[in-house]
Amino acid sequence: MGFYSNHDYEDPLKLGKHNRLAELYAFTGDKEKALFHLQQYIHESPNYVHGNELDYLPFNPFYEKLWEDKDFKAFIKSIQDRNKAYRLQVDEMEKNGEIE
């Protein structure tokens, strides 16, 4: 099973909708709505490895008002932990010769 599913590519605009809404709400300082839409972004595409856009959340100026917020930091940590788990899974698959 790969990290990507056909669902992730059905509607790329829909996939990014929550990410864009999260940026807008974060920029205006609405933490609850920003975090809600970030969670929706993850929920709607659970098999998609969210690339750079989530890796750079702690540095994205749209999220500056949330950088010191404990809930935002917890969300960032959850993404980092998930990405570490994916990396370990890939490393194990490489080790076992399942992928090159």
Whether residue 29 lies inside any domain: the answer is yes
Q: Can you read off the two tokens belonging to residue 15?
A: 């996939």
59-91 exposure pattern, b = at least 16 Cβ within 10 A, e = fewer = ebebbebbeeeeebeebbeebeeeeeeeeeeee
* d(C-alpha 74, C-alpha 82), whole Å: 12
Its domain, for residue 44, covers: 6-95
Whether residue 100 lies inside any domain: the answer is no
Whether residue 27 lies inside any domain: the answer is yes
Whether residue 71 lies inside any domain: the answer is yes
Provide the domain count of the chain. 1
Whether residue 1 lies inside any domain: the answer is no
Output the pTM of the full model. Answer: 0.72
DSSP secondary structure code for residue 96 in this structure:
T
pLDDT of 52 higher than 70: no
Tell how many helices (H) and how many strands (E) occur in the chain.
4, 0
Whether residue 85 lies inside any domain: the answer is yes
Whether residue 80 lies inside any domain: the answer is yes
Cβ atoms within 10 Å, residue 46? 10
SS3 49: coil
Candidate ranges 6-10, 33-37, 52-56; pick with highest mean pLDDT: 33-37
pLDDT in tens, 2-20: 444 444 445 555 667 888 8
Whether residue 48 lies inside any domain: the answer is yes
